[in-house]
Amino acid sequence: MGYQPLPQKQLFTVRQIVAAISIIACLVFIISYSGRIIMDRKVQARQEKLEQGVEEAKAFGATIKDMIAHIDDQDIVEPYARNERGMQQPGEQTVAQLLMEQVPSAAAEQDAAVETEVQDEENVPNWRLWWDFVITGGNKQ
């Protein structure tokens, strides 16, 4: 008798291999599909945001058109140009009224200073006069 190898058991059957490949394919499909769903939702959110921006821009454009129509009205433009910008119509002359302040002369300022100094001395209490006399020796600075 000769040597006969023992029959070996198959590690995986064809059914197991097909089932494993099917499961792996399903997992790849699920992961890929979920990624696409997430990207689609992000794109939709961005699209809604952009559409909202377009609506806001349209509303802003409408308000700008209203403002331009309002600004073209001469009853609005003329007072603004005259009062705010100091403009004038061709052929008009601008008249400015200057208010002159009286500037006190140097002599009037000296008289006022002497007068307030005399009033200050008259209103000083007696104890303060004695204190100043003792501290400064009667010399005013």
Q: pLDDT by residue for the chain (141 residues), tens digit each?
A: 577 777 777 778 899 999 999 999 999 999 999 999 999 999 999 999 999 999 999 999 999 998 888 777 777 778 888 888 878 888 887 777 777 776 666 666 766 666 666 666 667 788 888 888 888 776 665
The pLDDT assigned to 133 comes to: 82
Residue 112's contacts (CB-CB under 8 Å, 6 or more residues apart) are 104
Q: Is residue 76 in a domain?
A: no
For residue 41, the surrounding DSSP H or E stretch is: helix 14-71
The pLDDT assigned to 13 comes to: 87
Half-sphere exposure of 133 (CA within 13 A, CB side): 7
Tell me which residue range forms the domain holding 110: 106-141
- Report the number of distinct structural domains present in the chain: 1
Separation of CA 81 from chain center: 29
Residue 20's contacts (CB-CB under 8 Å, 6 or more residues apart) are 12
The pLDDT assigned to 100 comes to: 72
Separation of CA 23 from chain center: 56
The pLDDT assigned to 5 comes to: 76
Half-sphere exposure of 69 (CA within 13 A, CB side): 6
Q: Is residue 28 in a domain?
A: no
Residue 63's contacts (CB-CB under 8 Å, 6 or more residues apart) are none
